[in-house]
Structure 1
Amino acid sequence: MNRHPDIFFGSEQQQRLESLMLRWRGARDREMPLTDDEQQELETLVAEELNAAALRAAPVAAESGQ
């Protein structure tokens, strides 16, 4: 995960993702699921962070000819 907010994934998204990941880990350790809404939000944020990583990497890949 990118640790610095940027135009692709902002600080509010990062903070919410971190919060949900902490809740997910706690729920996992207690063998309890997140609520459906929390799970959906977590999955959405993970997908958005993955997309942001791809957008950050695109110029580097283009520069190296890949």
Structure 2
Amino acid sequence: MIIQSFVPDWFFNAEQQKRLSELMNLWRTARDRGQTLPAEQQTELDKLVEAELKAATARTAALVQQINS
């Protein structure tokens, strides 16, 4: 089961979502130009992607717990 939430929550807040979106736009632009992001931005992007994955996992676990209660 995959649950994708585009609404800020306590698992992944609005500031994180905004920054992830900004970095993804920069990454797409760089990719389309055959370039890469600067290392600092790539590291930040990687950390946000990992945080969103963890948030999605936590969201799913919370939902399953709610369903089973």
How does the TM-score come out when normalised to structure 2?
A: 0.85
Q: Does 1:52 align with 2:58?
A: no
Q: Does 1:16 align with 2:19?
A: yes
State which of 28, 35, 38 in structure 2 corresponds to 1:35. 38
* Code of the aligned partner of 1:57: T
The percentage of aligned residue pairs carrying the same residue is 45
State which of 52, 61, 66 in structure 1 corresponds to 2:64. 61
Matched residue count: 65
> Structure 1, unaligned stretches of length 5 or more?
none
> Structure 2, unaligned stretches of length 5 or more?
none
Following the alignment from structure 1 to structure 2, what is the Cα–Cα distance between the partners of residues 7 and 35?
Answer: 29
Alpha-carbon shift at residue 24 of structure 1 (Å): 0.2
Choose between structure 1 and 2 for higher RCO, CA contacts under 8 A separated by at least 6 residues.
2
